Amino acid sequence: MNSFKQSEEGIAKLKKELNAIIVAHNYQRPEVQDIADFTGDSLELARKSVGIEAEVIVFCGVRFMAETAAILNPSAMVLLSHLEAGCPMADMIDVGKLRKWKQDYPEAAVVAYVNTTAAVKAESDFCCTSANGVEVVNAVPNDEVLFVPDRNLGHYVSTKTAKKMIVYPGFCYVHDRITAEQVKLAKQRYPQAKVLVHPECRPDVIDMADAALSTSQILRYAKQSSDKTFLIGTEEGILHPLRKQSPEKEFYTITPDFVCADMKKTTLEMVLETMQTRRNVVTVPEEVRIRAKQAIDRMLAIT
């Protein structure tokens, strides 16, 4: 029996024993996505977390996503598939920096991208994801918005709103390193391709794309489109569900090395070990959880 099969069987057995549900982000390794009960983008995973009745949620993704599940579903035990799977962009802002920044803009509301720690969400007025940033910012009652931490998503949203946006200079190293020149070269190679990018890409990359979308929005766009070839400007894990749902279509990432090292830390063996040992329990102090939940609940009420 190969090691994937062995792990799959162990995971299936433990799922029953622990009354567990496995959720995975669209960037996870194909074999990890395949054993999940639910896959999705950050917004879908947050929404799903609210209603999960299982005793254990095994979260295959990065820390801020598992924290969001722990914030929204405090009665479940949330296990993160790899202890050190984090998001470098989320770590670019902390509570101290945010508090200091807020003092300079007392009239502004803080909108925190979901890629932030629970503590930063607790200091924010609204949460948003890449799927609903524009809707959330437009729904904020204040005229001024402090947006943390992604400068590229913040810039993208600022082009779609009349609000005055002050954007923190954080970025995702995976998306930010893609250049307009690379898009140009990819388009020369596949001139007929539709270009779908994530809003964490740089503004000049987004300008060259047919659409800037969250990971699940990319999946829906590609499914509904009559086009046959797509250039994808996001982490390569998305190629697995894209090819699965539309085997007759062709999908290529803009560059071959479009990889988030943290998203790839989780292996099938690690999911099994995490369940066997019930390790990597993600907890959020109650006082932080309540305040972070307010920011997330406000987002969920808008979209």
Residue 132 in contact with ligand 13P, rule: CB under 6 A: no
Q: One symbol per residue from 88 to 117: x for binding ligand 13P (CB under 6 A), - otherwise; what is it?
A: ---------------------------x--
Minimum CB separation of residue 103 from ligand SF4 in Å reads: 27
Q: Nearer to ligand 13P by C-beta: 215 or 274?
A: 215
What is the DSSP-derived secondary structure letter of residue 281? B
Minimum CB separation of residue 5 from ligand SF4 in Å reads: 29
Q: How many residues does the chain have?
A: 303
Measured CA to CA, the distance from residue 58 to residue 271 in angstroms comes to: 8
Residue 42 in contact with ligand 13P, rule: CB under 6 A: yes
Measured CA to CA, the distance from residue 24 to residue 33 in angstroms comes to: 6
Residues engaged in binding ligand SF4 (CB under 6 A): 62, 87-89, 115, 172, 174, 200, 235, 260, 262-263
Q: Nearer to ligand SF4 by C-beta: 35 or 233?
A: 233
Q: Are 275 and 269 in contact (CB under 8 A)?
A: no
Name which of ligand 13P, ligand SF4, none residue 129 binds, using a CB cut-off of 5 to 8 Å depending on partner kind.
Answer: ligand 13P
Residue 129 in contact with ligand 13P, rule: CB under 6 A: yes
Q: Nearer to ligand SF4 by C-beta: 14 or 260?
A: 260
Find the helix packing angle between 286-302 and 63-72, rounded to 10°. Answer: 90
Q: Which residue has the tokens 């400007």?
A: 233
Q: Are 46 and 295 in contact (CB under 8 A)?
A: no
Q: Which of 271, 215, 296 is nearest to 37 (CA)?
A: 271
How many residues bind to ligand 13P according to rule CB under 6 A?
Answer: 11
Q: Which of 196, 265, 208 is nearest to 234 (CA)?
A: 196
Minimum CB separation of residue 13 from ligand SF4 in Å reads: 30
Q: 19's torsion region: left (phi>0), alpha (psi -120 to 50) or beta?
A: left
Name which of ligand SF4, ligand 13P, none residue 88 binds, using a CB cut-off of 5 to 8 Å depending on partner kind.
Answer: ligand SF4
Binding stretches for ligand 13P (CB under 6 A) = 26, 41-42, 115, 129-130, 172, 198, 200, 214-215
